[in-house]
Amino acid sequence: MKNKSNSTKNKVIRIAVTGTVVLTMTFAAFILPLRPKVSEAEKRELAKFPEFSVTALLSGTYFSDIASWFSDTVPFRDTLVAINSKFQHILGTATVLKGFNEAKRGDDIPDVPNTSSDLPTSDGTSEVQTDSPAGIPSEITSAPETQPQGEYAGLVQKFDSILVAGNSGYEYYNFNQAASDAYVAAVNAAGNRLNGRAKVYSMIIPTSIDITLDERVRKKVNVSDQKKAIDYMEGSMNQNVVRVEIFDAMKAHKDEYIYFRTDHHWTGLGAYYAYVRFCEIKGIQALPLSAYTVRSFDNFLGSFYKDSGNDPALGASPDVVDTYTPPCGTKMTVTEKSGNTLVTPMIYNATNNKPAYKYSAFIYGDNPFTVIENTDMTSGDALILVKESFGNAIAPLFTYHYKYVYVVDYRYYSGKLDALVNTAKSTCGGNVDVLYCNNISMTRASGQVTKLAAVLA
């Protein structure tokens, strides 16, 4: 009888506790100050409370928008999502989605370069339509290991566009023939148009899945061969473009901290090895790592962490953003997307940035146009860096060798490269180099390639 009484008492306690938690959470959900406006994990603004209008009321959208706002701005949203992800991981019920390796198989990569008439002619026009080597210093700084320890069995997960293996994320890559040809066409057109006024270089950056992912896993993932794709694109470039091949240089350092675990970008060290390769091709002396001032920002949780639904293995292995400042004075002027211009340090203090935004330590993040001046030089050459976000990490390394480094983010830039070359040439007092510096994933995105081509003139 006593046991039955205790059992009934325990049930009442459990019901009371559960009811209290539910009521507390329900009450908290209606407290407006607790409702978040931004999701740090998803890197987006959350739904806003809709403005009232008679039209919206009569159509029924007003109340549906309120419902969307209510569900999207639940208090402690990111924390609850992270807890849910951890429970799924523990229970083994995490959603597994098909990614590029299965749902969007890449095109076959041609065995020979494309030298057909679809690529630019000598006058710079194009008919394409589109929707460790010698010279690398041996010293490196200590950094966290990029490869998970032990066997991979049971540790590989496939999400919508990434693969998580152990404590590292990797982006799938599928070759796109039309977009790749259009990319080559855009770079060739620049080489032709600027011939005699500027030397054009091309650097296609491989991503981590073909460099640092364990070979046993890489062989089982049905993605396109980045080495073969880069060879095809660079081989298709004409005599007015200098190719800066970095795949082998990156592969030679695959066991070092050259790509982030929780984010799709390369690290400052990875960018450094690419810079060294550029210097080798150009015929100038690269600075050794010991010459740089290193500043680090820890607790970086990037795009892979977000895209995997805050995967616990990634969350337990946050990255460190190491920045490298060369031994010269610099002044950096940034033109923001709003058109506002400001002077800011080349290495931004990201100490207090949220974990998702630590990569913005490099040149104050993605902006349409940035000018970095080497204040120790009275005159010298200029470099125009045409890039997406991978270029942010490498831009500071060039400032030691150039009087001016002009950084053009083609995704937002409204100016024209042709005119910028003329301005740079008259301002710097020396020669002008143009470096197209983009990661290979960009070369498969026809929309981005179209923006890249539009920057020329």
Q: What is the mean pLDDT of each run of 10 residues along the chain (457 residues)?
A: 61 68 56 62 57 66 61 63 51 37 70 66 37 30 33 55 89 93 97 96 97 89 93 96 98 97 97 98 97 97 91 93 98 96 96 95 97 95 97 98 98 95 92 98 94 92
What is the separation of C-alpha 421 from the centre of its chain, rounded to a whole number of angstroms? 27
Number of separate helices (H) and strands (E) present in the chain: 15, 15
Which value, in Å, is the radius of gyration of the alpha carbons in the chain? 25
Q: Say which residue the tokens 């349409």 belong to.
A: 368
Q: Which tokens is 278 given?
A: 């550029």
Which pLDDT score is estimated for 240? 97
Say if strands 168-171 and 199-205 run parallel, antiparallel, or are unpaired: unpaired
Which pLDDT score is estimated for 56? 59
Which pLDDT score is estimated for 96? 33
Q: Distance between CA atoms of 189 and 185, rounded to whole angstroms?
A: 6
CB 348 within 8 A of CB 393: no
Which pLDDT score is estimated for 309? 87
- Reported as type and span, the H/E element at residue 23 is helix 2-29
CB 396 within 8 A of CB 407: no
Is the CA virtual torsion 301, 305, 310, 316 positive or negative? Answer: negative
- Farthest CA pair distance, the chain: 99
Opening angle at CA 262, ends 91 and 77, nearest 5? 60
Opening angle at CA 312, ends 221 and 393, nearest 5? 70
Q: Distance between CA atoms of 380 and 115, rounded to whole angstroms?
A: 36
Q: Say which residue the tokens 């080597």 belong to.
A: 133
Q: Distance between CA atoms of 63 and 374, rounded to whole angstroms?
A: 57
Burial class of residue 29 (count of CB atoms within 10 Å of its CB; 0-12, 13-18, 19+): middle
Q: Distance between CA atoms of 402 and 377, rounded to whole angstroms?
A: 8
Burial class of residue 127 (count of CB atoms within 10 Å of its CB; 0-12, 13-18, 19+): exposed
Q: Distance between CA atoms of 237 and 187, rounded to whole angstroms?
A: 8
Q: Distance between CA atoms of 401 and 382, rounded to whole angstroms?
A: 9
Which pLDDT score is estimated for 103? 41
For 68, 276, 308, 337, the CA distances from 372, given in Å and listed in that order, are: 44, 20, 36, 17
